[in-house]
């Protein structure tokens, strides 16, 4: 579930804090902090399921309240329940971890009724909702499409949600887009048997898990060596002149290039350049690309580049 791109971002955030702490640079604590940050992202993934449930529950409650009005319309007596009967939301509640999170998590959406109400109001006024409700087709595909619309239009880019998440974790806003994409993909994986829906494992496989913890640990263990290699590429520059985040990204890129044999160098470079574009300065990409390219050439010449399998591609 946690993609390698998200692992790299978690590593950047964790390693950034590690490098800033000159007194307590303990490798075991660093790995534990990396593990905590990854698990925290997984908790947000679960909370997104709970948020969708809360939205659909609010809509169902509105229909029930309408039935109790003194003066009822035909729509109040015979409401269109297509939205509330979403197969995917029902399937979420079959997963024990999601059910537990509904009441026992540190982010319970019942504490934010006005926020849930605001999302529902935006949904109910949208053209995509109107189209969904008037479409006679009743299928998984219809349920899936309305969920995708809600995630992309009402959750992924929502300033009020950003504020709520920032109160809980300074990193969750960075995770949101990735996890929304993962949520959509996981639902799609159950398109033929949605009633069996389950949360995915934290890591896709052991290789991804090893990648996460090898990356952070080996980068920290080799940081002084990486600084020397970076300095060798600089002309009349001191290490302190490099933007701190650029140094963090360079260390992680070099850690991946030198310590993870199965990932091609080109993939590593492209991944960290994308991260630099989003998180660092305008000139960072060109600078980082130039440094990594020089070090990569030196590593090949000296025979220090240890790539096997897909890493050779």
CATH number at residue 229: 1.10.940.10
Is 214 a member of any domain? Answer: no
Q: Are residues 171 and 78 in the same domain?
A: yes
Q: If you write DSSP's letter for every residue of 10-72 in order, what string do you get?
A: HHHHHHHHHHH-SS---HHHHHHHHHHHHHHHHHHHHHHHHHHHHHHHHHHHHHHHHHT-SS-
Q: Which of 106, 204, 190, 120 is nearest to 158 (CA)?
A: 120
**How many domains does the chain divide into?**
2
Confidence of residue 252 (pLDDT cuts 50, 70, 90): very high
Same domain, 249 and 113: no
Residue 203 in any domain: the answer is no
pLDDT at 105 over 90: no
Same domain, 190 and 226: no
My answer on whether 165 and 27 are in the same domain is: yes
Q: What is the pLDDT of residue 117?
A: 97
pLDDT at 236 over 90: no
How far, in Å, CA of 234 to CA of 77, rounded? Answer: 75
Same domain, 15 and 145: yes
Domain extent at residue 61 = 4-196
Q: What is the pLDDT of residue 141?
A: 97
174 and 237 fall within a common domain? no
Residues 188 and 281 in one domain: no
Q: Are residues 16 and 105 in the same domain?
A: yes
Q: Are 175 and 245 found together in one domain?
A: no
Distances in Å between the alpha carbon of 117 and those of 35, 57, 62, 240?
35, 10, 10, 50
Q: In this predicted structure, what is the pLDDT of residue 71?
A: 64
Average pLDDT over residues 275-301: 93
| Domain co-membership, 43 together with 118 | yes
Q: 189 and 232 in one domain?
A: no
Asked whether residue 247 is domain-assigned, the answer is yes
Residue 206 located in a structural domain: no
Q: According to the model, what pLDDT value does residue 25 have? A: 81
- Report the predicted TM-score, pTM, of the whole model to 2 decimal places: 0.91
Q: How many CB atoms sit inside 10 A of residue 106's CB?
A: 10
Q: Round the average pLDDT of the chain to a whole number and report it.
A: 93
The rounded percent of the chain whose pLDDT value lies above 70 is: 96
Q: Quote the tokens at residue 120.
A: 């529902």
- Do 240 and 183 belong to one domain? no
């Amino acid at each position: 579930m946690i993609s390698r791109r998200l692992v790299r971002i978690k590593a950047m955030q964790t390693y950034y804090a590690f490098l800033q702490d000159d007194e307590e640079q303990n490798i075991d604590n660093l790995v534990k902090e990396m593990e905590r940050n990854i698990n925290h992202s997984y908790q947000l993934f679960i909370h997104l399921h709970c948020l969708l449930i809360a939205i659909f529950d609010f809509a169902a409650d509105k229909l029930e309240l309408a039935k109790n009005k003194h003066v009822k319309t035909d729509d109040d007596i015979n409401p269109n329940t297509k939205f509330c009967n979403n197969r995917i939301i029902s399937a979420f509640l079959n997963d024990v971890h999601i059910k537990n999170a509904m009441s026992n998590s540190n982010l319970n959406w019942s504490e934010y009724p006005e926020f849930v109400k605001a999302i529902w109001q935006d949904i109910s006024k949208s053209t995509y909702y109107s189209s969904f409700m008037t479409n006679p087709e009743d299928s998984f595909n219809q349920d899936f499409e309305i969920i995708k619309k809600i995630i992309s239009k009402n959750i992924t880019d929502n300033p009020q949600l950003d504020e709520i998440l920032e109160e809980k974790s300074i990193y969750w806003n960075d995770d949101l887009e990735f996890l929304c994409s993962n949520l959509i993909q996981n639902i799609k994986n159950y398109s033929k048997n949605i009633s069996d829906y389950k949360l995915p494992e934290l890591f896709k496989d052991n290789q991804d898990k090893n990648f996460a913890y090898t990356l952070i640990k080996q980068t920290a263990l080799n940081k002084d060596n990486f600084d020397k290699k970076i300095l060798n590429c600089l002309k009349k520059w001191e290490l302190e002149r490099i933007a701190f985040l650029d140094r963090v990204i360079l260390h992680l890129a070099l850690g991946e290039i030198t310590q993870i044999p199965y990932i091609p160098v080109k993939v590593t470079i492209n991944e960290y350049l994308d991260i630099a574009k989003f998180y660092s300065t305008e000139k960072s990409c060109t600078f980082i690309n130039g440094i990594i390219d020089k070090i990569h050439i030196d590593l090949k010449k000296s025979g220090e580049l240890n790539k096997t399998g897909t890493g050779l591609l």
